[in-house]
Structure formats: C-alpha cells, structure tokens
Amino acid sequence: MEWYEVALGLLGLLIVLIGLGLPIPFALAAASLPFLWQIQTFNTSLVSAQLKLWGVWINYILLAVPLFVFLGELISRSNIGANLYMFLHRGVPIRGSAAYGSIGACAGFGAVSGSSMVGSLTIGGVALPEMLRLGYDRRLASGVLAAGGTLSVLLPPSLILLFYGIVTDQSIGQLFMAGIIPGLLLASFFVIVVLIWARLHPAHVPDRDTGPRLALIQIAVSLGPIIVIGGVITVSIYGGIATPTEAAAIAALVTVALAVGVGGLRWKGFGEALMATMRTMGYLGLLLSAGVLFGFVLNYYRVPQQVTELFLAFELSPYMVLALVILFYIALGMFLEPVSMTFITLPVIIPLILAAGFDLIWFGIVYTITMEIAVLTPPVGLNLYVISGISRGKVSVPDVIVGSLPFIVALVVLVGVMIAFPQAALWLPEQVR
C-alpha cells in the first residue's frame, strides 16, 4: 500500500470509530490492526499488540505517571490546596485578591501536580464559591479558575511534558526546567488580564478584602506542604539526585505524610485517591499502548517521513511550517483532549519540526501551551465542564467560555513570546545541561 493510502485510511477509520463512540484507546488500536494485518499474519499481529502493551507497562520512565497522578489526587482530597488558596486570599488588602489568589494557588498547585483538570477541580472547588460569595462576576471567576488550571500543565511536573518527552525521546528533566519561565510568564499574563478586566468592568470585582489575616501557624500549614513537596521534586531532579521517576516516588511518599499530618486526609480519602489513580492509569495505560501500536504502523509505512518530504517540497519557511502546526493543534484541540493528541499526532509532526530546524525542547513548550488552549476551547474543553460542574448550576458552560476568552488571548500571546524569544524556554535548561 502507498503511504498516503495508509495515512488517509488510518485517519478516516479513526474518525469513524471515535464518531461511533468508541473510546479513543480502542479506536486507535482498532484503526491500526487492519493495516498491521497487511504486513503480519493475524496471529503475529496479536502477539505484536501484546508486546506493545507489555512494553508500555514495564517502561521505567512511565512509572512516574501513576506516581504524579497519585500525588495530585492526594492533594485534591486533602486540605492542602484549600489552605494554599486561603493564605493567598484571606486578609490580603488588595482589590481583586481572591482572583489573584486563585492564580497563585493554581500556580502553586502546578508546582506539585501535573494535571490541568485536577488543578481546576482542586482550587476551583474552594475558590469558585468564595469568589461568587464575595461578589465577583461569574464569568470572571469561572474564567480565572478554568485558565488557572492550565498552569499545572506548564509548570513542572507536567504530565503533558512527561508524555511529550516519552514520545519524542527528550530529557524529562530538561523539559520540566524549560517550563518554569514560561509558566511564571503565563501566571503574570493572567494577573494582567484580571487587572484589565477590573479596569474595564469595575463592578465585576469587589472592593479589597478586609477580613482577618491568617495566624503564623496557619500560614505555615498553608505554605509548608507546597514548599516541601515542590522542593523535593525540584531539588531531586535538577540537582541530579534522582530521576523523575524516583523523584515522583519520593514526592508521593512525602505527600502522603503531609496530607495525613496537616492536610486532614483520612482513610476514606486515601482509598478514593488510590481508586482514582487506578482508573486514570487504566485509561492512560491503554492509550499509551494503543498509541505505540498506532505509531508503529505509521513508521512502518514511513508516513511521518513522507509527510515531511511533502512539506519540504513546497519550500515553506520554517515559521510557516510552525504556524501551520500550531493552527492544526488549536483546531484539533476543539475535538480531542491533549493526551490523545500527543500519541496520535506527534509521531507525524516531530519529523516535520526537526526538518524545519526547531529545537525539540523548545517546541515541547510551544506544544504544551497549545494543549492548554485545547482544554479551554469548546466543544471538548475539559476545564470548561469541570468549572461549570463544581458551580452546581450557578455558572453555565457558556459563561465559562466567555470568561476564558481573555485568558486564551494571554496563551496566544505567550506562544508569540516563545517564538520571538526562544531563550525564554531554553535558557534554564542550558544552564543546568
């Protein structure tokens, strides 16, 4: 079969299967098998599929995924995230402190957990009712929290960067380091969005909070766990003490102790965290395995290489290629969630990016920012539904969409900054390389 027949056949079959409601992992595998049978017998292809599945589950680097997921679930079921938000908001004599506190709490949560949805759920569950009670406009409140969750994807540890590193065979530590400055820039951009919103619509932001400040012991309980967990991850990985997998294991153990000791976690919450981690990993494990099988078929028929040669034949400039790739991901992000896009598309896109001459560590940050846009764009913007769901009917999905639009603009601006100033992502990795 010709490569373009395989590419169109895989894509068409995948779209049909997803449209029929088949879960994406099974759709990926089912779309791959007919083309695998063209090069292998039925029995051999079954063995190949089993080996791909086994190869994913025994991958040492991938052990970091369930550990970081478990860490995030522990924090979301304890009071650690809630305490952090209350510290950043309560008694702060600044107009809009609850909105700024939400951004800061999401950034702090991002430093210890890599899931955008869990970040929005954890901080949003505490912050959204408080902001609505204080009189914030529901669109502003929901937009801040939906967008704030994306900080968990960019600031290390990030599951998307972890998956990107696995698929592209790039250093996880380098990718994590590259996300720090862009993550802090994004938090700053979100603060600027709130400042502009408050200036344009003064009625949407209440006067400064004059409530009582937290006592010193409450401040220690609020900040201590985040500092300790984030410090363990940062120092162990970037200090060369441990691999990302080992750092995740140590951090998960420390989080258990802190969640129980100061976060109020009980056996019920611990069990729920375990079950949620197993459910998440059941899906991710199948997705990873199916993605590997899908990539094997693509590479056997040389689809990525042929796509790259096709683009090179048009003699497009590198930045034109990059612009097309970014637009492709923004459009695709309206219909697929980021993890699925990572395993479906990167095997084809990465050779094209390499041929255009871009650094893969830098592109990993640009890619991750586009994934952040994906979780805020309907109809499959996960963070939009999370925030609407935790509002218990007080905020509709259209309200969250409208509230998220200025923050999506901030994300687009950040992409432009990364393109204009690549060193914003590459400077830190170069210093520790």
* pLDDT of residue 211 exceeding 60: no
Range of the domain at 358: 25-432
- Taking only the tens place, the pLDDT of each residue in 276-331 is 888 888 887 788 788 878 888 888 888 878 888 887 788 888 999 999 999 988 88
If pLDDT is split at 50, 70 and 90, which confidence band does 209 have? low
* pLDDT of residue 428 exceeding 80: yes
And the tokens for 17? 């299967």
pLDDT value at residue 106: 82
- Taking only the tens place, the pLDDT of each residue in 58-77 is 777 778 888 888 888 888 78
pLDDT value at residue 420: 94
- Taking only the tens place, the pLDDT of each residue in 102-142 is 888 888 877 777 677 777 777 887 788 888 888 889 999 99
pLDDT value at residue 412: 94
* pLDDT of residue 212 exceeding 70: no
In a domain, 1, yes or no: no
- Taking only the tens place, the pLDDT of each residue in 173-195 is 899 889 999 999 999 999 999 99
* pLDDT of residue 49 exceeding 70: yes
In a domain, 3, yes or no: no
In a domain, 17, yes or no: no
In a domain, 37, yes or no: yes
Q: What percent of the chain has pLDDT over 70?
A: 96
- Taking only the tens place, the pLDDT of each residue in 306-316 is 888 887 788 88
- Taking only the tens place, the pLDDT of each residue in 343-352 is 888 888 998 8
pLDDT value at residue 368: 93
If pLDDT is split at 50, 70 and 90, which confidence band does 415 have? very high
* Average pLDDT for the chain: 84
- The stretch 415-420 carries a mean pLDDT of 95
And the tokens for 363? 């592109």
pLDDT value at residue 239: 77
Answering whether pTM is above 0.75, one says: yes
If pLDDT is split at 50, 70 and 90, which confidence band does 89 have? low
In a domain, 131, yes or no: yes
In a domain, 169, yes or no: yes
In a domain, 6, yes or no: no
Q: How many domains does one find in the chain? A: 1
